[in-house]
Amino acid sequence: MEESVPEKKSVASRGVPSKESMYLPPHDSPLIRSFQDKDENPTRNTWDLGEVSTFIFPKQYQEKYHSIASAFLALLMKETKVEGAQISQFIKDNSISKATFYNRVLPRLRRVGMVKIQRHTIVAKESKRKYRPMSVHLSKTFGNYISKIGDSWLAIVDEARSKSDQQKRLQTFEEKKE
């Protein structure tokens, strides 16, 4: 007698969740300035802050988040480190929703490695109450992460081309021998 095993139901995949994705426009898109010449050699020009933040918050899809992130990163570029009071002032000066900033923009900037968040535990002497003020710093992690991906890809392409060239030379050599 055979027992039937109930099929495990699963939800159809909807792709990569947006909070875990990065926007990569086509390499020849007018949204980004050229980064290589016709021979695939990198150019010396660099992208500005707005162009870089487009990869995290695409301007045409998340315009509000893009403008908030760009403004906050500009503040961090000037200060390199901001404390809770400065962040509150930034939110107030730019008429930004606290929920949008703290629940959407800041976590995403942290997740991709553009900023680093540190908490400091302080105990008040008189009330023995603990509080943990936050400071936000610029981080190189995003650049290191993307560079590692790019360098790895370049090594893979160079190795494939090198093997192909080596095989062609070997073939040519074999043909000349005959």
CATH of the domain at 102: 1.10.10.10
pTM equals 0.73
Q: What average pLDDT does the structure give for the chain?
A: 82
Beta-strand pair 130-131/122-123: antiparallel
Cα→Cα distances 77→34, 114, 119, 156, Å: 24, 11, 20, 34
Q: What phi, psi does 23 have (nearest 5°)?
A: -85, 125
Residues 25 and 71 in one domain: yes
| Contact partners, residue 27, CB within 8 Å, separation at least 6 | 35
Domain limits for position 86: 20-139
Check whether 23 has a pLDDT greater than 90: no
- pLDDT tens for each residue of 96-117: 999 999 998 999 999 989 999 8
* Domain assignment of residue 130, yes or no: yes
Q: Which of 21-30, 79-88, 129-138 has the lowest mean pLDDT?
A: 21-30
What does the pLDDT average to over 45-64? 85
